[in-house]
Amino acid sequence: MTTLHVLDIPDELYEQLQQLAQAENSSVDAQVITILQNALQKTKTQLTEDEKRKNVPKLLEEIDHRRHRLNPADFGLPDSIEMIREDRDR
């Protein structure tokens, strides 16, 4: 296993690490490793801007499909347009 030395950690940050490690019943070293693993995992799952842009047409198509597929009348619910008109006519 590789050793990592970090220099010039602010005192407040180190105190927070100590408090977190104590609350989790672990060492500061173990806590730092856990935090780094979680941060790297989040980085892997985040999409890049290009990937997000590639997904936009697919998302728009899905939204359009849902709009046409979900009709309140299919579930025995009144049409919202009719309800608004009734309310305005009062």
User: Do 35 and 62 fall within a single domain?
Assistant: no
User: Do 70 and 55 fall within a single domain?
Assistant: yes
Looking at residue 41, what is its pLDDT? Answer: 84
User: Do 83 and 54 fall within a single domain?
Assistant: yes
pTM: 0.50
Spans of the chain, pLDDT less than 70: 68
Assigned domain for 5 exists: no
> What range does the domain containing 69 cover?
49-89
Residue 57, amino acid? P
Assigned domain for 32 exists: yes
Assigned domain for 82 exists: yes
DSSP calls for 32-76: HHHHHHHHHHHHHHSPPHHHHHHHHHHHHHHHHHHHHH--GGGGT
Query: Percent of the chain, pLDDT > 70?
Result: 97
User: Do 72 and 85 fall within a single domain?
Assistant: yes
Looking at residue 49, what is its pLDDT? Answer: 74
